[in-house]
């Protein structure tokens, strides 16, 4: 009011151009519980996703003898392990058909299918992006199971009701047990 609400001088008055509507002392103001909870839940979930990605990257450095079949798929095909898994099942079926077929024309058809499937497998990208491995994708499955949806266009943050669900014992245990298994 002293400078006629001039925007250039607002910095001198705590960035306030006008007098407050309600004059409340600061010791009477409560903290914004919901926004603090939103921040804590988002931070916790990002830490879980980072831990899952760290596990995925450690999997890719292990020797093949120490890995399960799923671990070998993640190591070899990175974020496209699911496509590789379905193509590998398809390839196993085609190999079986190739071995068991009696006719030469059937063998030629199955040989062509095997070649096509092997080519598709070789074309898969081996890059392992965050949230693309089996552990990180299981985190998303657990959230879906409990009807918690991260907001796609808001840095995967959560809404208030989802935060309250997220801190329940069942969700917390499901999420943390996924990382340890």
The counts of H helices and E strands in the chain are 7, 0
User: What would the pLDDT profile of 76-118 be if each residue is shown by its tens digit?
Assistant: 777 777 788 888 888 888 888 888 888 888 888 888 988 898 8
Neighbours of 122 (CB within 10 A): 7
User: What would the pLDDT profile of 124-175 be if each residue is shown by its tens digit?
Assistant: 776 777 777 788 888 888 999 999 988 887 788 888 888 888 888 998 888 8
Tokens of 127: 């890059």
Residue 180 confidence (pLDDT) above 70? no
Tokens of 134: 């089996």
Segment (H or E) for 71: helix 69-77
CA distances from 38 to 153, 163, 164, 173 (A): 15, 6, 9, 19
């Amino acid at each position: 009011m002293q400078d006629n609400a001039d925007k250039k001088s607002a910095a001198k008055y705590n960035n306030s151009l006008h007098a407050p509507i309600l004059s409340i002392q600061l010791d009477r103001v409560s903290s914004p519980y919901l926004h603090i909870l939103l921040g804590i839940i988002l931070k916790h979930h990002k830490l879980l996703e980072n831990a899952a990605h760290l596990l995925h990257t450690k999997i890719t450095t292990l020797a093949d003898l120490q890995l399960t079949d799923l671990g070998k798929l993640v190591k070899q095909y990175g974020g496209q392990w699911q496509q590789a898994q379905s193509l590998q099942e398809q390839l196993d079926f085609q190999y079986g058909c190739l071995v068991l077929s009696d006719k030469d024309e059937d063998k030629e058809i199955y040989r062509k299918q095997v070649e096509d499937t092997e080519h598709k497998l070789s074309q898969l990208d081996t890059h392992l992006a965050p949230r693309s491995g089996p552990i990180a994708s299981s985190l998303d499955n657990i959230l879906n199971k409990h009807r918690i949806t991260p907001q796609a266009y808001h840095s995967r943050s959560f809404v208030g009701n989802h935060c309250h669900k997220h801190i329940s014992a069942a969700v917390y245990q499901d999420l943390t047990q996924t990382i340890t298994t």
